[in-house]
């Protein structure tokens, strides 16, 4: 049986219990069967092409100005909603070079719009400026991410052809494009800056990249606890944590101690792992959009979650593209085919679905890939400098347990890193436990897929 010291505490209500076999069965049934309760959110407004001037029901991105003006990037132009009045900008009536808007950002009164094939467009409420590969140092005309470095007064652009750093004052452009097994700076989806002005870049198929202006650091499934190499969006919270909406493997957090925590449909109220966006409301609650399962609002500290989709609300579409908050209790939600919606959720309920403690990857014991395909090779490595004492810490045995506490695989090893050819096992959540020579017990969850 798995030692009790290896088990994760499960947060139920306000008390933490140690999981026994009985509780694991209850939790698994509860995750699969129990609906969310106590929901108080209301879809107050829906704007689509049938009831408003919104140019297209595929709303890709949103931006909200300090005066309450809402900008919506769609497949057929850019819309501005302010005080109940609409203004539509497209290639026929403005300086917009492509109607398919993929990214938006506001700097003062100027809107920055990244397009599908038309480069970058700027509008300062009076004039338009455009930047393409033919007229600037932009490396590619598909601009998916826009961020401002207020320390260096530069604009950072994520494109399919690499990273561009633009200094508007001198109109100086610097482009970065790398494709290698260890680092790939292309197919960039989104980027954000932390308090030290390090750029954190979400990529398609190349994981998460950190760039401080001098050097790059890459986080991929083969060298870290990141669950997916495709990241749709990255958000940085005041405590320095990086939150990732991954394409196929749920929500991930990298904290300042380099510890990864994962929320997915095996350990949280997320009913789908294909996420599209993550942001925060002013109260610090997470706003999580999915590709197929609608919207999730999560208070991570209390473990309470609220779920909205087309079956339990008037949400116009389950494919969420972006969510932004304009107050403690009002959200604007962009959808892929249902236009945009305004949601009011009042005081956050206290009787919601209580999430179990998520899978927290051990900062000492690192395993990858995680999740892993059935019957393939697992890589284990250990950060010996993080062990709690100076006694000999040579690993002796690695054991794989299932959720019932039964041992399903074992390997004796004299040192880490090492490779472990896992046997064919049923899909599900397991625990890798490593015992060292001096008695240290290291445990990390592992999800085995099909």
pLDDT tens for the 450 residues of the chain, in order: 333 333 333 332 322 233 333 333 333 433 333 333 344 678 989 999 999 999 999 999 999 999 999 999 999 999 999 999 999 999 999 999 999 999 999 999 999 999 999 999 999 999 999 999 999 999 999 999 999 999 999 999 999 999 999 999 999 999 999 888 888 899 999 999 999 999 999 999 999 999 998 899 999 999 999 999 999 999 999 999 999 999 999 999 999 999 999 999 888 889 999 999 999 999 899 999 999 999 999 988 877 888 999 988 899 999 999 999 998 778 999 999 999 999 988 655 443 444 444 544 444 577 778 778 888 888 887 654 444 444 445 556 788 887 666 788 888 876 667 788 889 888 877 878 776 665 556 777 788 876
Burial level of 111, CB count in 10 A (0-12/13-18/19+)?
buried
What are all long-range contacts of 91-97, with beta carbons under 8 Å and residues at least 24 apart? 94/123, 94/128, 95/121, 95/123, 95/127, 95/128, 95/129, 95/130, 96/121, 96/128, 97/121, 97/130, 97/132
Token code pair at residue 42: 């209301």
pLDDT number for residue 128: 98
DSSP structure class, residue 358: P
* 380 contacts 418 by C-beta, under 8 angstroms: yes
In tens, the pLDDT along 180-218 reads: 888 889 999 999 999 999 999 999 999 999 999 889 999
* 162 contacts 176 by C-beta, under 8 angstroms: yes
Question: Rounded CA gap, 308 and 316, in Å?
Answer: 11
Structural element, H or E, at residue 421: strand 418-421
pLDDT number for residue 237: 96
Question: Which of 173, 177, 245 has its CA nearest to residue 216?
Answer: 177
State yes or no: cis peptide before 226, omega within 30 of 0.
Answer: no
Token code pair at residue 337: 């085919």
- DSSP H helices, 197-304, are none
Domains of the chain: 42-354 (2.130.10.10), 362-448 (2.60.40.1930)
Residue 210, beta-bridge partner list: 200, 217
In tens, the pLDDT along 264-304 reads: 988 888 999 999 999 999 989 999 999 999 999 998 887 78
pLDDT number for residue 438: 59
Q: CA distances (Å), 153 to each of 165, 169, 216, in order?
A: 10, 8, 20
pLDDT number for residue 93: 97
pLDDT number for residue 32: 35
Question: Which of 217, 216, 324, 202 has its CA nearest to residue 251?
Answer: 202
């Amino acid at each position: 049986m798995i030692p009790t010291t290896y088990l994760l505490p499960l947060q139920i209500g306000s008390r933490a219990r140690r999981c026994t076999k009985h509780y694991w069965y209850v939790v698994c049934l509860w995750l699969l069967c129990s609906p969310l309760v106590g929901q108080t959110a209301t879809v107050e407004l829906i704007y689509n092409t049938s009831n408003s001037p919104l140019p297209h029901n595929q709303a890709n991105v949103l931006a909200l100005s300090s005066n309450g003006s809402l900008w919506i990037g769609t497949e057929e132009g850019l819309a501005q909603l302010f005080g109940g009045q609409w203004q539509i900008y497209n290639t026929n009536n403005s300086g917009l070079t492509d109607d398919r808007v993929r990214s938006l950002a506001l700097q003062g009164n100027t809107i920055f719009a990244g397009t599908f094939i038309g480069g970058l467009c700027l509008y300062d409420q009076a004039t338009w400026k455009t930047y393409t590969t033919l007229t600037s140092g932009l490396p590619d005309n598909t601009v998916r991410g826009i961020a401002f470095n207020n320390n260096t007064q530069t604009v950072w652009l994520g494109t399919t052809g690499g990273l561009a750093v633009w200094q508007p004052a001198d109109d100086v452009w610097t482009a970065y494009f790398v494709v290698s097994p260890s680092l790939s700076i292309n197919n960039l989806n989104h980027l954000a800056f932390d308090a030290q002005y390090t750029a954190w870049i979400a990529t398609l198929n190349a994981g998460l990249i950190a760039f401080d202006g001098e050097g790059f650091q890459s986080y991929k499934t083969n060298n870290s606890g990141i669950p997916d190499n495709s990241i749709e969006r990255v958000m940085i919270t005041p405590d320095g944590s990086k939150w990732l909406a991954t394409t196929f493997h749920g929500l991930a957090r990298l904290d300042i101690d380099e510890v990864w925590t994962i929320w997915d449909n095996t350990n949280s109220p997320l009913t789908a792992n294909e996420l599209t966006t993550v942001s925060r409301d002013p109260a610090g609650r997470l706003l999580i959009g999915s590709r197929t399962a609608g919207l999730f609002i999560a208070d991570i500290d209390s473990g309470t979650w609220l779920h909205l989709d087309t079956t339990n609300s008037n949400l116009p579409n389950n494919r969420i593209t972006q969510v932004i908050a304009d107050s403690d209790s009002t959200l604007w939600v962009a959808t892929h085919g249902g236009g945009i919606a305004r949601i009011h959720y009042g005081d956050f309920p206290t009787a919601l679905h209580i999430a179990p403690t998520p899978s927290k990857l051990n900062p000492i014991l690192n395993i990858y890939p995680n999740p892993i395909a059935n019957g393939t090779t697992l890589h284990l490595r250990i950060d010996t400098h993080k062990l709690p004492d100076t006694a000999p810490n040579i690993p002796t045995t690695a054991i794989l347990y299932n959720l019932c506490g039964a041992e399903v695989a074992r390997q004796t090893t004299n040192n880490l890193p090492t490779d472990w050819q896992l046997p064919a096992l049923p899909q599900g959540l397991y625990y890798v436990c490593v015992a060292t020579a001096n008695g240290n017990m290291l445990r990390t969850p592992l999800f085995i897929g099909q």
